[in-house]
Amino acid sequence: MDKKLYPRIGEEVIWETLDNGLPVCIVPKQGFSRKYALFATRYGGMDMRFELNGQWLDTPAGIAHYLEHKMFDTKDGNALQELAKNGAEPNAFTSNAITCYYFDSTEKFYENLEILLSFVSVPYFTDESVEKEQGIIGQEIGMIEDNPEWQVYKQMMQALYRSSPARTPVAGSVESISHITAQTLYDCHKAFYTPANMCLVVVGDLEPDAVFSLAEEVLPRESGPAIARDYGEEKELTPLEAETSCQMEIAMPTFLLGFKCPPMSGGQEQMRRTLIGELACDVLLGDSSPLYARLYSQGLINGTFGYSFDTLPGVAYAYIGGDSKDPHAVAELVLQEVQRLVREGIDADYFGRILRANYGSTLKSLNSFESIAISLVHDPEFIIFDEPTNGLDVITAKTVTDFLVGLKNEGKTIIISTHIFSLVEKLCDRVGIIINGKMVKEGDLKELTAEKDLETTFFEVYSEEVGENA
């Protein structure tokens, strides 16, 4: 058991990998009545082609989502009903890359946890029940297909990508799910619902040993082999189509402007590029950006306007959209602003405000048990903080700093954006200096400062870049 203590903030994280390969993460919350459990598998809508028992299988689109629906069926009834009887609030979701089953409760937690582990690990399907589910999910798909926002997103992904399964909706289509059988579901469960491909995260006031013992008792003793997956290969960065549209009865046109980005291989490079993508979207389109103000003042966007930067296995993309009386005008102004920022750079003060806003939203999410559990599914090696001590009193700032030191000592890679030189000197091994939105110097902290303090070094670099009177 790996117990990571953070005494200054009264928190700890406990990791244990069971003999069957299942990682179990526990976040104790002493004094909290509510407890939360999430059981996830690295299996999502994009995992349609994989190798099982030496043979490559091509499964219908939507099967991961279909399997999520059917997993609640048990020989004795329905797990959702069992959990509800015990006062739990259960749910599940399927994304492109993962499927998660979870619940929260204030009582009978261990009974509910046993139910969760049991029904997820022991499938029960019949041909009759699988066929019946096709109608239910078919209705769900039909409702989604009638949604204008969903239609433009689906068409954008199909216009961006040629071969990646990212272009296929997670739920599939009415036609694709008609090919799903009980045997297909059993095959997918055998491949991906194995302990080493899953993770259990528990948050609340509980006994870690009791969680470990229960998981060892309920789950299989051994895990299956690692499963090879085929996500296709996007050989071209250019989209498949430059523009696509469909006709629906709506009051105002709904649009998405998509940007196809190079795929990411994982690790530090993925973290770096994900950070760049998210910040670029905020800088370009945030509600405090010049472009947003211009678009809004001209009546080209309204409260539906939004944007995102997403990464999936083998793909990365950004998109912008909402309702607009003139989507082409919005697209033109966005491209013009991108070109301007490339030419002129980003204002440093504005960039700093964006970073602080991002930090605030991230910090707020830490109050959510769900966010904690989902983030820890992956036991992240890279963690990003923006101005982690800004605006804090000296005691709280010391607490946060000690927490970051603890993370560093555990071997985590921490990326910090801050204007507090002492914090950098205490925490960082490598430093980058950003002036007027551009990285002007980067390197090992000791080499960069050359036995000076960081503040002196910064202002020397600043004077070289912009001049003493700037």
Q: Which of the residues are catalytic? A: 68
CB crowding 188-198: b at 16 or more within 10 Å, else e: bbebbbbbbbb
Please identify which residue in the block is written with the tokens 């046993």: 114
Helix/strand/coil for 252 = coil
Please identify which residue in the block is written with the tokens 């619940």: 103
Here the tokens at position 458 are: 């910064």
**CB 205, CB 35: distance < 8 Å:** yes
Q: What is the largest CA-CA distance in the chain?
A: 79
Here the tokens at position 169 are: 């909706």
Helix/strand/coil for 386 = strand
Angle between helix axes 127-145 and 182-192 (nearest 10 degrees) is 80
Alpha helices (H) in 5-74, listed in sequence order:
63-70
Pairing of strands 315-323, 430-435: unpaired
Please identify which residue in the block is written with the tokens 């409702």: 143
Pairing of strands 413-417, 430-435: unpaired
Helix/strand/coil for 5 = strand
Question: What values do phi and psi take at 434, rounded to 5?
Answer: -110, 125
**CB 417, CB 439: distance < 8 Å:** no
**CB 87, CB 105: distance < 8 Å:** yes
Residues 6+ apart with CB under 8 A from 246: 151, 155
Pairing of strands 35-41, 99-105: antiparallel
Side chain identity at residue 229, one-letter code: R
What is the 8-class DSSP label of residue 424?
H
Side chain identity at residue 86, one-letter code: N
The torsion defined by the Cα of 288, 292, 293 and 295, in degrees rounded to 10, comes to -170
